[in-house]
Structure 1
Amino acid sequence: MPHVDVVIGGPPCQSFSLAGKRDVEDERGQLVWRYIQIIEHIEPKAFVFENVTGLLSAKNAKGEKVIELLKSAFIEIGYSISTKVVNTADYGIPQKRKRVIIVGLRNGEPFEFPAATHSEDGSNFKRYVSVEEALGDLPLAVSDEKETTKYLVEPQSEYQKIMRGKGEITEHFIPQMSELDKYIISHVKPGGNYMDIPADVNSARIKRLQRDGGHTTCYGRLRPDAPSYTINTYFNRPNVGCNIHYSADRLITVREALRLQSFPDSYKLVSSSKQGKNLIVGNAVPPILAEIIANKLKEYI
């Protein structure tokens, strides 16, 4: 490995996810410790480490808190550590996505995270960027994955201006849906979920959710006037998160998911499968957040 001034990484976090089994002895979870070995070997001036919030409560087989072990390991190899749960919506990204960020500095100085620029009510800050502010200028989605489309209107918001590309729009195709999914989606109102679905629907899972509650974003439709919930790797399904378009009776497109993650329209996804593209989008750190943290970190090195 060559020497570098900064190492940035997010070791696979499935082992620490609140949604998963939270098995910290899982093989993927061991890559977190491999990350530490890389930092020790390269000795960069700084590193940035990203993970899911489940990391904060994860414990190993001995009952020790993984986050404390991580901090101790980083300190032991010569770094001052700053940790924060960051909500991407606080930085002008149209998505409520919380992630743990750890920044380490080799010179011993504690890193101060960049101040928030946005808030829900807009008091003392700019107001959160909404889904409609993020997606409202995109044309109707096409039916074929290989088909491209063009902008038909001028950008309606500052965020749209930032996202706009110069060429044709790719990845803006309607995800496949079963007839049952189409029926379900047609009944969910903006900001609503499975509680909006008629009781006669032929789905044991929906009946159970309506009876027992929980998983409030399941079969959710986006609100146009608020940020989205976390974009996950299954945004092509109505039953895994809030993935229904705020006005059209369909799921969001890959391009719309990219926009909500703050990837510009010029970004080209490279994958041999549809699910591969979804994995890239859902697992990513929003580029705007990456830029904000990088600019702040630059002040220290």
Structure 2
Amino acid sequence: MAIDVVSLFSGGGGLDLGFKSAGFNIIWAIDNNQNAVNTYKANIGDHIICDDINKIDVNNIPHADVVIGGPPCQSFSLAGNRHVEDDRGQLVWRYISIIKEIKPKAFLFENVTGLLSAKNGKGEKIIDLLKNAFRDIGYTLTTQVVNAADYGVPQRRKRVIIVGVKGESRFSFPKATHNESGVGLKKYVSVEEALDDLPKVIYDENGSADYLEMPKTEYQKRMRNVEKVTEHFMPQMSELDKYIVEHVKPGGNYMDIPPDVKSSRIRRLQREGGHTTCYGRMKPDEPSYTINTYFNRPNVGCNIHYREDRLITVREALRLQSFPDSYVVVSSSKQGRNLIVGNAVPPMLAEVMAKELKKYVEEEI
């Protein structure tokens, strides 16, 4: 029997791809970003609408067994000011009102770890208010900070996941399959293992290229489901970017850049420290750090290719997010493209969670 899913704040569909791979039936989705909606339609289906979730009639959302999605996380991000009173911060309560109306058997809520420390204007912790609100409408909750790398994604990406199950049943998070050392479990998938079969970068945004070689790792085999690589075009870099990239070694950061660099920010970081992944180059034998929405810049995270003197491509970011090579991004702008990729839930992580959740939902159908 099909398990129907409603997807909120769907973006480019990372969560949805994972749930679809696990055998769930996505019947309805919504996002307010037209680029994300167009991308979703190109990869998953036409059951998504582009609209403001605060303005739609909840009665028009179809009934579903499961609701998935996480409100935009900027308000709770550790990188931001965490103004939870702004419009984006208020979206978590809209999420709860929709759950209350649809009454799914279960839901999965995903957000940044900054949610755990975010407070409202009264000093109350948002996570506690959220949990109380979910419990008040009849859900038993299980909350955990999960690291995507623990489940075979080549990226150290930590996120808060709340799973609610209707009634008394309690969800158990799946056990990790990978770890840092490889002792007792599989070793973390490294960026080299994830990306080494990709061709040289191309210079046409709409172009494609043949793979460099046959897949050599299980991860590469899993990602490759097309004949040619797309979204693998050369990232634009300023002269300053090129200078920075040339000097940062694998695993290094701004401390590798010569002190004569024409950047007051870099000189300040070198004096004062902090933000250790800034201007970072990936280590080939380790997972990447979090792929963010600015992976086309060297100054926001660790985005320099582990071997070549350039920033990572969109396809490489997608690979590190565990999107299959058939996935295409439809966007009217470059930054719109990066937003879709950087904001996504890794589909492989979503699939692991979905398979576990399926056991609980099937018992109720």
Tell me which interval the TM-score lies in, with the shorter structure as reference length. Answer: over 0.9
CA-CA distance at 1:203 after TM superposition: 0.7
Residue of structure 2 equivalent to 1:261 = 321
Return the alpha-carbon distance in structure 2 between the equivalents of residues 89 and 77 of structure 1.
33
Residue of structure 2 equivalent to 1:42 = 102
In the alignment, structure 1 residue 11 sits paired with structure 2 residue 94: no
Residue of structure 1 equivalent to 2:14 = none
Residue of structure 1 equivalent to 2:187 = 127
Instruction: Could you tell me which runs of 5 or more consecutive residues in structure 2 were left unpaired when the two chains were aligned.
Output: 1-60
Match of 1:81 among 138, 141, 146: 141
Match of 1:296 among 356, 359, 364: 356
In the alignment, structure 1 residue 169 sits paired with structure 2 residue 192: no
Return the alpha-carbon distance in structure 2 between the equivalents of residues 159 and 89 of structure 1.
13
Return the alpha-carbon distance in structure 2 between the equivalents of residues 216 and 283 of structure 1.
21
What does the per-residue CA deviation read over 1:206-230, in whole Å, with 9 as the maximum and x for residues that have no partner?
1000000000000000000000000
- 3-state SS, counterpart of residue 220 of structure 1: coil
Residue of structure 2 equivalent to 1:59 = 119
What does the per-residue CA deviation read over 1:177-217, in whole Å, with 9 as the maximum and x for residues that have no partner?
01111011000000000000011111101100000000000
Residue of structure 2 equivalent to 1:27 = 87
Return the alpha-carbon distance in structure 2 between the equivalents of residues 144 and 187 of structure 1.
27
In the alignment, structure 1 residue 68 sits paired with structure 2 residue 128: yes
Residue of structure 1 equivalent to 2:269 = 209
Q: Structure 1 length as normaliser, TM-score?
A: 0.99
CA-CA distance at 1:296 after TM superposition: 0.2
Return the alpha-carbon distance in structure 2 between the equivalents of residues 73 and 277 of structure 1.
35
Return the alpha-carbon distance in structure 2 between the equivalents of residues 49 and 133 of structure 1.
30
Return the alpha-carbon distance in structure 2 between the equivalents of residues 152 and 118 of structure 1.
27
Q: Which amino acid aligns with 2:212?
A: L
CA-CA distance at 1:166 after TM superposition: 2.1
Correspondences of 1:243-282 after superposition (within 5 Å): 243-282=303-342
CA RMSD of aligned residues (A): 0.6
Identity of aligned residues (%): 73
Instruction: Could you tell me which runs of 5 or more consecutive residues in structure 1 were left unpaired when the two chains were aligned.
Output: none
Return the alpha-carbon distance in structure 2 between the equivalents of residues 148 and 154 of structure 1.
17
Q: Structure 2 length as normaliser, TM-score?
A: 0.82
- 3-state SS, counterpart of residue 228 of structure 2: coil
- The aligned length equals 301
Residue of structure 2 equivalent to 1:199 = 259
Using CA pairs under 8 Å that are at least 6 residues apart, name the structure with larger relative contact order, 1 or 2: 2
Return the alpha-carbon distance in structure 2 between the equivalents of residues 228 and 33 of structure 1.
33
Deviates more, 1:5-14 or 1:164-173: 164-173
Following TM superposition, the consecutive aligned residue runs of length 4 or more in structure 1 with deviations greater than 3 angstroms are none
Return the alpha-carbon distance in structure 1 between the equivalents of residues 291 and 158 of structure 2.
11
Instruction: Say whether the 8 Å CA contact 2:200–2:212 is kept in structure 1.
Output: no
In the alignment, structure 1 residue 188 sits paired with structure 2 residue 248: yes
Return the alpha-carbon distance in structure 1 between the equivalents of residues 191 and 72 of structure 2.
28
Return the alpha-carbon distance in structure 1 between the equivalents of residues 297 and 225 of structure 2.
27
In the alignment, structure 1 residue 92 sits paired with structure 2 residue 152: yes
Instruction: Say whether the 8 Å CA contact 2:296–2:312 is kept in structure 1.
Output: yes
- 3-state SS, counterpart of residue 138 of structure 1: coil
What does the per-residue CA deviation read over 1:130-172, in whole Å, with 9 as the maximum and x for residues that have no partner?
0000000001001221221111300011000000122221100
Q: Which amino acid aligns with 2:92?
A: V
Return the alpha-carbon distance in structure 1 between the equivalents of residues 146 and 64 of structure 2.
25
Return the alpha-carbon distance in structure 2 between the equivalents of residues 87 and 179 of structure 1.
35
In the alignment, structure 1 residue 179 sits paired with structure 2 residue 221: no
Deviates more, 1:11-20 or 1:142-151: 142-151
Residue of structure 2 equivalent to 1:110 = 170
- 3-state SS, counterpart of residue 143 of structure 2: strand
Return the alpha-carbon distance in structure 1 between the equivalents of residues 65 and 338 of structure 2.
31
Residue of structure 2 equivalent to 1:286 = 346
Residue of structure 2 equivalent to 1:155 = 215
Q: Which amino acid aligns with 1:258?
A: L
